[in-house]
Structure 1
Amino acid sequence: MRIRMDLAYDGGGFKGWARQPALRTVQGELEAALATALRLPEVQVVCAGRTDTGVHARGQVVHLDVDADVVEATAGRAAATPIASLHRRLNGILPADVRIHDVTEAPEGFDARFSAVWRRYAYRVADLPQVQDPLTRNHVLHWRAPLDLDTMNEASRMLIGLKDFAAFCKKREGATTIRTLLDFHWYRDAEERAVATVRADAFCHSMVRALVGCMLAVGDGRKSPQWAHDVLVNAKRDAAVAVVAAHGLTLEEVGYPPAAQLALQAEKARARRDPDALVKDNCHE
Structure 2
Amino acid sequence: MRARLDIAYDGTEFSGWAVQPERRTVAGALLEVLEQILGAGVATGLTVAGRTDAGVHATGQVAHVDLPDPVWAATGPTLLRRLAGLLPGDVRVMALAEAPAEFDARFSATYRRYQYRVTDAPWGASPLRRRDTLAWPRALDVERLNAAAAGLVGEHDFAAFCKRKENATTIREVTRLDWHRTAADGVLVATVQADAFCQAMVRSLVGAMLVAGDGRRPPEWPAGQLTRRERSSAVTVAPAHGLTLVGVGYPEDAGALAARAAATRRLRIPAD
* TM-score normalised by L of structure 1: 0.91
- Please give the residue correspondences for 1:81-96 in structure 2 after superposition, counting only pairs within 5 Å: 83-96=76-89
Q: Secondary structure at the match of 1:275?
A: coil
Q: Which residue of 1 aligns with 2:259?
A: 264
* Correspondence 1:151 to 2:144: yes
Q: Deviations over 1:83-140 (max 9, x none)?
A: 2311111111110101111000002311000000000000000112256312321110
Q: CA deviation at 1:42?
A: 5.6
How far apart are 1:196 and its partner, in Å? 0.4
Could you tell me which residue of structure 2 aligns to residue 168 of structure 1?
Answer: 161
- The alpha-carbon distance between structure 1 residues 175 and 234, as it changes in their structure 2 partners (threshold 3 A), is same
Counterpart of 2:185 in structure 1: which amino acid? E
Question: 1:247 and 2:248 equivalent?
Answer: no
Kindly indicate whether the alpha-carbon contact (under 8 Å) linking 2:173 and 2:194 is maintained by their aligned counterparts in 1: yes
- 1:198 offset after TM fit, Å? 0.6
Partner of 2:13: 13
Query: What is aligned with 2:127?
Result: 134
Aligned to 2:51: 50
**What is the SS of the residue equivalent to 1:225?**
coil
The counterpart of 1:227, out of the listed 216, 221, 226, is: 221
**For residues 21-100 of structure 1, what are the structure 2 equivalents within 5 Å?**
21-41=21-41, 43-44=43-44, 45-73=46-74, 75=75, 83-100=76-93
Q: Confirm or deny: 8 A CA contact 1:166 1:232 kept in the other structure.
A: yes
The separation in 2 between residues aligned to 1:244 and 1:42, in whole angstroms, is 39
> What are the Cα deviations for residues 10-63 of structure 1, in whole angstroms up to 9, with x where unaligned?
000100000011110000000111111212346341000000000000000000
Task: Confirm or deny that 1:179 pairs with 2:172.
Answer: yes
Residue in 1 that maps onto 2:113: 120
| Bigger shift: residues 222-231 or 211-220 | 222-231
Cα distance in 1 for partners of 2:229, 2:146 equals 21
Q: Which amino acid aligns with 2:170?
A: T
Match of 1:195 in 2: 189
SS in 1 for 2:220: helix
Identical positions, percent: 51
**8 Å Cα contact 1:131/1:193 also seen in 2:** no
Partner in structure 2 of residue 107 of structure 1: 100
Q: Deviation at 1:175?
A: 1.0
More helix by proportion, 1 or 2?
Answer: 1
Which amino acid letter does the alignment assign opposite residue 61 of structure 1?
V
In structure 1, give the amino acid aligned to 2:39: R
Q: CA RMSD in A?
A: 1.3
Decide which of 206, 214, 218 is 2:208's aligned counterpart: 214
8 Å contact kept, 1:62–1:112:
yes
Counterpart residue number, 1:283: none
Which amino acid counterpart does residue 12 of structure 1 have in structure 2? T
**Take 1:192 and 1:132, find their aligned partners in 2: how far apart are those partners?**
11
Provide Cα deviations, 1:123-170, integer angstroms capped at 9, x if missing partner.
Answer: 000112256312321110000011111111111111111110000001
> How far apart are the structure 2 equivalents of 1:127 and 1:228?
20
Query: What residue identity is the alignment partner of 1:114?
Result: F
1:185 offset after TM fit, Å? Answer: 0.4
| Paired letter, 2:59 | R
Q: Distance in 2 between matches of 1:117 and 1:255?
A: 5
